[in-house]
Amino acid sequence: MSSPQSFSMIRPTIKTPFHIDFEWWQHHDSNWRVYLNDFLCPEHQKAFEGKAEIWIDDIDPQTAEVHRVDGLQHILMNHCAKQPDFLLRETSLINKIFKLLLANGNRPMTPEEMAPLVGRPAEVILRTLSGPQVYYGIRPCKG
């Protein structure tokens, strides 16, 4: 999955779009797959249990282009994140943001867009995402 490029020295605002930078996350946290497994639905937690990387061919429905994608990421965003209770479970703010981005297919979203969907002010979301620690690979992105 291609990811938008990250900002380097620009201070994010409530209008700055954020996304899950899977490539960055994979390079900076060797346990990233463990975290993703925690967000799988029960059916897929069993299916992926003890499995190493699984790559699948994903077909873009609009262009018919075939892309090789990580199976865990694909199943999480295209099945588990679409389950009715995925966003409803009580959880921390960062988990809500992560789940929201997954449910939206990792489409970049601003803290302003996220605020009504996670029930927290945009400024709180911005402070959480723009602090010194990067959670779950959630980073600012360009267009």
What pLDDT tens digit does each residue of the chain (143 aa) get? Answer: 444 444 456 789 999 999 999 999 989 988 888 888 989 999 999 988 887 788 889 888 889 999 898 899 999 999 999 998 898 877 899 999 999 999 999 999 999 999 999 999 999 999 999 999 999 999 999 75
Per the domain annotation, does 9 fall within a domain? no
Confirm whether 7 is domain-assigned: no
Angle between helices 111-118 and 93-103 (to 10 degrees): 110
> Does the residue 78 lie in any domain?
yes
Residue 83 lies in a domain: yes
Whether pTM exceeds 0.85: no
Contacts for 86 with CB less than 8 Å, ≥ 6 apart: 41, 80, 99, 102, 103
- Give how many domains the chain has, as a whole number: 1
State the residue range of the domain holding 119.
18-140
Cα separations in angstroms, 82 against 13, 25, 43, 74, 104 = 29, 23, 13, 12, 9
Q: First CA to last CA across the chain, in angstroms?
A: 16
Q: Is residue 12 part of a domain?
A: no
Residue 5: inside a domain: no
Position 11 in a domain: no
- Is residue 70 one of the residues assigned to a domain? yes
